[in-house]
Structure 1
Amino acid sequence: MIATIGGDDQITVLPLLDRELIRARPKPFIGMSDNTNLLAFLRNTGIVGYHGASVMVELGRPGAMNPQTADSLRAALFTSGPYELRPADRWNDVDRDWADPATFDEEPPSRPGTGWTWVNADRVVEGRGWGGNLEILGWLLMADREIAEPEEYEGDVLFLETSEELPSAAEVFRTLRNMGERGLLGRFSALLMARAKTWSFERPNSPEEAARYAADQREAVLSAMRAYAPGTPVVFDVDFGHTDPQVVIPYGGTVRVDGPARRITVTY
């Protein structure tokens, strides 16, 4: 099952799901953004889901799927075992109007990749993946829904991304602070932070504004980690968020973060 797109109300569907029926008849599920709700539900049901690659955005990308997205999705769908992630050579986060037929006539523009940024990269850790869209996790925390007790996440790898709504650095910090106050942040063995989405139709940031937005978000994340999980390895600009390309992260599956070698490996 591959989600068509995200949204903002899947949290209202969770109480209607039959957990025992889904557990008895599990299906691979792939989605992201608002689908963080269902991915968290599945993990709590004992089912590994896959964060990434919705139909309209990635499979329906103008021109063709990004090769890096396609390679990761193909590996998640048709193989099992370790798959090494790699930084994007080129990336994009400026959208084009789906209502304009010309949007689909040519490859989207892109810019050179900047690699990953590592913090506290002095160890190798491995754990189950948990996280997804930060805004959605904030809603789940407020509703006290599908968030387990802190000890359930001991040693797991947290991965987070933000949406095209471009939450402020203050909102990012406060959500992470609340996770810290709940005793969650200090449980994770590492944090993978996706490349920030910096442009939207409502906020068409200039390159300078986009760079400032990304830098402010990074500092917000670091401030929260310094306060609640000092020393935890953090990797910035991993390509699994609302940007292109988008790799698939196993939600509840194994994620290995090798700081000294600067490598990230997931197991599908």
Structure 2
Amino acid sequence: MALPAYPAKPKPGDRVAVVSPSAGLPGLFPHVHELGLRRLREEFGLVPVEYPTTRQTRADPRDRARDLTAAFADPTITAVLATVGGDDLITVTPHLDDAVLRANPKPYFGYSDHTNVLNHLYRLGMVAYHGGSVLVHLGRPGAPHPLTFDSLRAALFTSGWYELTPAPEWGDEPGDWRDPSTLAVAPPMRPGEGWRWRGPSTVVEGRTWGGCLEILHWLMAADRVPSAAELAGSVLVVETSNEMPGAQEVFRIMRNMGERGLLAAFPAIVVGRPKAWDFERPLPVPERLAWAAAQRGAITRALAAYHPDPVVVFDVDLGHTDPQLIVPYGGEIVVDAVERRIMVRY
């Protein structure tokens, strides 16, 4: 498989698609969605274009795929931004028109359930972008997080190298979208602890692949992931979702990746900071710390069995916690364990 190619970038004033191929939550939380759209216009100078299913809940997968295909087909659209994640995009991607997507490459931004689309575009030979959503990041309560917006701005408009940096403070307690008044209140944050490095002191350069760990497990079950040979030399980038999978589940997913031969393909692995708080499971801080430590331990245990010597970086701000750094999917990355730096090329 040829290396994925970078699509052309938008510029301020361009029209960009705003789509919901996963969950149609803009229809349930229009106040959050409108805030995100306003910031897209005012902070980035882009013109959002919605599609028929953008605000529809329970839209048919074929209709969502039709909207996504139409966004790529429209020559006036220069990028495609997802509104939010969900849990059934695996039923949408089979209905995409791959010929249209290949003929009209565009930057696609999404994470979580959008791992389905990111992986799909990767297999079509297109670099996409893990991160960014209209509701979660553009519609963040209080004010945009500066690290998220700087990363998103660079990923949208530039093509050079960008250094990811540890967040000086971070959080995993979002506002309650059911209460519009929470949009005025910034989410609580905690001091950052920096990244955690393990493995050899070396520099790894490669192309990224991965995404939300639970979605990768679904994709393996559906046999929609590249082979170990195709991924050889790549850097695995993974994070876990707001459903907060336990350490044993994380170990089993990583173990199954090892059994498939995938883990040994990656000379470096970048792991997102795990989200350890949810409305259904509001853990106190000590339990959150233990939760994150157990997840790191589960990944380390799986690697010990299947691939004991990669460079591993834990607690990078690229997943379901706040802020979120954008990572090119299929794009270039340098993981420097000597200087303890991570660079990506947007």
TM range (shorter): over 0.9
Q: Is 1:220 equivalent to 2:285 in the alignment?
A: no
Q: Is 1:151 equivalent to 2:191 in the alignment?
A: no
The aligned counterpart of 1:66 is 145
1:106 is displaced (CA, Å) by 2.1
- Once the two structures are superposed, the pairs formed by residues 114-133 of structure 1 within 5 Å of their partners are 114-133=193-212
1:96 is displaced (CA, Å) by 2.1
The aligned counterpart of 2:162 is 83
Which amino acid counterpart does residue 214 of structure 1 have in structure 2? A
From 58, 82, 86, give the equivalent of 1:3. 82
For normalisation by structure 2, the TM-score amounts to: 0.76
Which deviations, in whole Å up to 9, do the C-alpha atoms of 1:241-262 show, x marking residues without a partner?
A: 1000000000000010000100
Distance 1:173 1:144 in 2: 20
* SS at structure 2 position matched to 1:2: strand
Q: What runs of 5+ residues in structure 2 fail to find an aligned partner? A: 1-79
Q: Is 1:259 equivalent to 2:344 in the alignment?
A: no
From 99, 121, 142, give the equivalent of 1:20. 99
Which deviations, in whole Å up to 9, do the C-alpha atoms of 1:131-177 show, x marking residues without a partner?
A: 000000000011112x1111000110000000110101011000000
From 33, 45, 54, give the equivalent of 2:112. 33
Which amino acid counterpart does residue 279 of structure 2 have in structure 1? F
From 251, 268, 279, give the equivalent of 1:173. 251
What is the total number of aligned residue pairs between the two structures?
A: 267
Distance 1:246 1:121 in 2: 27
Which deviations, in whole Å up to 9, do the C-alpha atoms of 1:170-217 show, x marking residues without a partner?
A: 110000000000000000110000001000011110111111110110
1:8 is displaced (CA, Å) by 0.3
Tell whether the 8 Å contact from 2:200 to 2:309 is kept in structure 1 after alignment: no
The aligned counterpart of 1:137 is 216
Distance 2:311 2:252 in 1: 20
The aligned counterpart of 1:248 is 326
Distance 2:125 2:334 in 1: 20
* SS at structure 2 position matched to 1:144: coil
1:102 is displaced (CA, Å) by 2.2
- Once the two structures are superposed, the pairs formed by residues 195-214 of structure 1 within 5 Å of their partners are 195-214=273-292
Structure with the greater alpha carbon radius of gyration = 2
Q: Is 1:100 equivalent to 2:179 in the alignment?
A: yes
Point out which structure has higher relative CO (alpha carbons under 8 A, 6+ apart).
Answer: 1
1:121 is displaced (CA, Å) by 4.2
Displacement over 4 Å in runs of 4+: none
Which amino acid counterpart does residue 139 of structure 2 have in structure 1? G
